[in-house]
């Protein structure tokens, strides 16, 4: 099994965990990490294929929608970390308590301050779909704390994996500062090696003293967590369709309604009125070539695969 090395056992405040990991060749099909991996594949695929996530991966994310997603994350993680704090000494969860390394609430406060200003609390509210998610987390933390493992695992392991891809997509698409304002949620300053930390986390999870029935309930709860996330995604997607279109970095220009639309190269090409000498026309023609389309599809598939862990 991977071994947790010297340092704090659970990441006490003021300490940074030191850890070393070796490749784990002794994972059993009955280990909780494997049961979760296999038991949530279908939910993972469905979440990954929601319209909101697909658009996000392609860089088609409006700033206002990204802000609302950040609000949803703030309420979700506030609930999750409140319940984790409540159960930090409970043996069914204590080994997975890493506040210094993982907690996201304060990072989200920084992001909301960046987007909404110092009075952000007066400008945001918990959406209906997010509230259902929050209510479930509180119920679990207070009445079935062993199931808190499912929510923590689903969120944090994803943040350390595909979440890092989404950070770069958001930074580029929204033209956010290189100093990482607005995307602090994705920055884990106290995790020096994400892959090793995830191995440590899974090892701790597999070492929990849980019977078969409890493990099955945790897998079921993880699938429930996926459903809550998909409901939030669907809610954001509906809001996004009502927002004014914004020109995204690398996207097509959006006509502002002023001047002659026929002079816009994108719309002119649509009308077939741009000659082959036009750079835009040439680019469109190139993009229609089968080999180029195959390469573009491959790139999208690679990014989607890298982001998979974000949605676990």
Query: In sequence order, which residues have a C-beta less than 8 Å from that of residue 104 and are 6 or more positions away?
Result: 73, 77, 81, 159, 185
Query: Is residue 103 within 8 Å of 44, Cβ to Cβ?
Result: no
Alpha-carbon distance of 75 to 18, in angstroms, equals 30
Cα dihedral 206, 207, 208, 212 sign: positive
Closest CA to 249 of 111, 70, 66, 61: 61
Annotated binding site: 37, 44, 153, 202
**CA 29, 310, 122, 86: dihedral to nearest 10 degrees?**
20
Which residue is it, tokens 């890298």?
Answer: 306
Q: Tokens representing 255?
A: 């006509």
Helix (H, G, I), strand (E, B) or coil at 191: coil
In a 10 Å sphere around its CB, with 0-12 CB exposed, 13-18 middle and 19+ buried, how is residue 157 labelled?
buried
Annotated binding site for heme b: 37, 44, 153, 202
Please give the C-alpha separations between residue 142 and each of 8, 87, 136, in angstroms, as whole numbers: 26, 9, 10
Question: For 125-128, which contacts have Cβ atoms below 8 Å and span 24 or more sequence positions?
Answer: 125/71, 126/71, 126/72, 126/75, 127/68, 127/71, 127/72, 127/232, 127/235, 128/235
């Amino acid at each position: 099994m991977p071994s947790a090395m010297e340092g704090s056992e659970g990441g006490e405040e003021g300490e940074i965990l030191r850890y070393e990991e070796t490749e784990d060749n002794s994972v059993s099909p009955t280990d909780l990490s494997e049961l979760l991996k296999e038991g949530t594949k279908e939910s993972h695929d469905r979440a990954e294929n929601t319209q909101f996530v697909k658009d996000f991966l392609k860089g088609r994310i409006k700033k206002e929608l990204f802000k609302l997603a950040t609000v949803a994350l703030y309420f979700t993680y506030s609930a999750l970390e409140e319940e984790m704090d409540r159960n930090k000494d409970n043996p069914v969860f204590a080994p997975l308590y890493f506040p210094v390394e993982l907690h996201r609430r304060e990072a989200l406060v920084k992001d909301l301050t960046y987007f909404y200003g110092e009075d952000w609390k007066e400008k945001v509210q918990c959406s209906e779909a997010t509230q259902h998610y929050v209510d479930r987390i509180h119920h679990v933390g207070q009445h079935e704390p062993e199931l808190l493992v499912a929510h923590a695992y689903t969120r944090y392991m994803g943040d350390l994996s595909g979440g890092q891809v989404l950070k770069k997509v958001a930074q580029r698409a929204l033209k956010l500062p290189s100093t990482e304002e607005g995307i602090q949620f994705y920055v884990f300053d106290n995790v020096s090696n994400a892959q090793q930390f995830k191995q440590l986390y899974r090892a701790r999870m597999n070492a929990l003293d849980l019977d078969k029935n409890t493990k099955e309930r945790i897998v079921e709860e993880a699938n429930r967590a996926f459903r809550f996330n998909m409901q939030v995604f669907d809610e954001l997607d509906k809001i996004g369709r009502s927002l004014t279109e914004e020109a995204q970095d690398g996207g097509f220009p959006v006509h502002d309604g002023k001047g002659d639309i026929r002079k816009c190269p994108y719309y002119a090409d649509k009308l077939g009125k741009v000659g082959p000498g036009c750079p835009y026309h040439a680019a469109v023609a190139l993009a229609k070539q089968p080999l180029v389309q195959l390469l573009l599809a491959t790139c999208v598939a690679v990014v989607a695969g890298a982001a998979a862990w974000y949605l676990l």
